[in-house]
Chain A
Amino acid sequence: LAKTTQPISMDSYEGQEVNITCSHNNIATNDYITWYQQFPSQGPRFIIQGYKTKVTNEVASLFIPADRKSSTLSLPRVSLSDTAVYYCLVGDIGDSSYKLIFGSGTRLLVRP
């Protein structure tokens, strides 16, 4: 399974755009990139998933360069409630034995 590397922590202020970059140099051809958000004492919550280029949904955008060795989660205009840990994962979602292996994650702190 491809290993991911993320910054341990990031600080931001309300209303700013936050970009969290994840490195996955050994990503395989069939691997997808998925981001989860976790609040304290809660289970992770799916944010977004992509394979290449750009994906956007109602809460975030995911930018993936052509070589797919990294990806950037973009959170527009963060609020205090976006303070959480964000995990980047890669894996072959079409594999019936696919399992999520969580890295250290990025602890985002949004200040007023």
Chain B
Amino acid sequence: GAVVSQHPSRVICKSGTSVKIECRSLDFQATTMFWYRQFPKQSLMLMATSNEGSKATYEQGVEKDKFLINHASLTLSTLTVTSAHPEDSSFYICSAGWGDSYNEQFFGPGTRLTVL
């Protein structure tokens, strides 16, 4: 299957700083990428849908000014957590789909964010 990578895999930052997480599709062009957040022992929660060359679509309750998403190319989407606080500590996962159907989304390995 296709490979999606994330960088970094783990990040620790101080409260008030911003953190950027990269999501790359390594061997295919992803027209759409998705960002999820997962708290311990909970399910994945979709945060936003990122389309190449256009603004991201955020799910209800997700602050677009706090979670900045950029999808500048067909192989790269970035999520920036601005002015991070301890409650933003979570596991952030991206996925990528391609073409007109999304019968199999490919997930990245996730990024563990810890805000002190």
Contact = CB atoms under 8 A, between A and B. Distances in A.
Interface stretch (A16-24, A62-70, A71-79, A96-104): A96-104
Interface stretch (B64-72, B78-86, B103-111): B103-111
Interface residues of B, number: 25
A102 B100 contact: no
Interface in A80-102: 87, 93-94, 96-102
A60 B106 CA distance: 18
Interface string B9-43: 00000000000000000000000001010000001
B91 A46 contact: no
Given A32-B103, A87-B43, A102-B44, A43 B49 contact: no
A61 interface: no
B46 A46 contact: no
Nearest to B42: A104
Contacts of A94: 100-101
B110 to A, nearest CB: 5
Given A43-B95, A99-B46, A100-B95, A93 B112 contact: no
Contacts of A105: 43
Interface string A21-45: 0000000000010100010011111
Nearest to A49: B103
A98 B36 CA distance: 15
A44 B108 CA distance: 8
B34 to A, nearest CB: 6
A33 B91 CA distance: 25
B102 A44 contact: no
A32 B97 CA distance: 16
Interface of A: 32, 34, 38, 41-46, 49, 87, 93-94, 96-105
